[in-house]
Amino acid sequence: MSKLMIELTINGKKRKVETTASTRLLDLIRDDLHLTGTKEGCGKGECGACTVIMNGELVASCLVLALQADGAVITTIEGVGDDKCLDPVQEAFIETGAVQCGFCTPGMILAAKKLLEENPHPDEEEIKRGISGNLCRCTGYQKIFDAIRLAADRLSSRNGGRGEEDA
């Protein structure tokens, strides 16, 4: 099979990777870049475990060809927070107990981050819709909703109390 070279920016680093025309972005991330925080669940775009942010948009990396990511800017869960300081969304997931087996968590956190970026004060329906592409079979979602609300409150008070606009 012929090999093709692509270049992409992943978690802020430029990487050149050799791939094939049938490789999924998910496999490139896990097997070639060894970023195994991105999970494979259903492989059909229905569970969201493989979610990454590509060019600013939430995508299911099992439904993207690696070649389609040539030139793209990608954030995986490894690019959220750092060793010293977790992202407020990650902190909130830990504090509220929104993590059980953890398999959905990387995708769930990326979906939650993206939701809060676009909508800093989501109501319950908006939270449900924001994470509707991510399945969790452990938590029953309630603690995930709690985590997202907590993260929303913290982020808005950090951003100079943007919530005051509503007052």
Residue 150 touches another protein, criterion: CB under 8 A? no
Residue partners of 112: CB distance under 8 A and separation at least 6:
89, 93, 130, 131, 144, 147, 148, 151
- Among 60, 80, 112, 147, indicate the residue that binds another protein (CB under 8 A): 60
What's the rounded Cα separation, in Å, for the pair 18 and 3?
6
Nearest approach in angstroms of CB 147 to another protein is 18
Query: Which residue's CB is nearer to another protein, number 57 or number 82?
Result: 57
Q: In this chain, which of 15, 70, 91, 95 binds another protein, going by CB under 8 A?
A: 70
Phi, psi torsion values for 38, nearest 5 degrees: -80, 125
The contact mask relative to another protein for 5-44 (x = CB under 8 A, - = no) is ---------------xxxxx--x--xx--------x--xx
Q: How many residues does the chain have?
A: 167
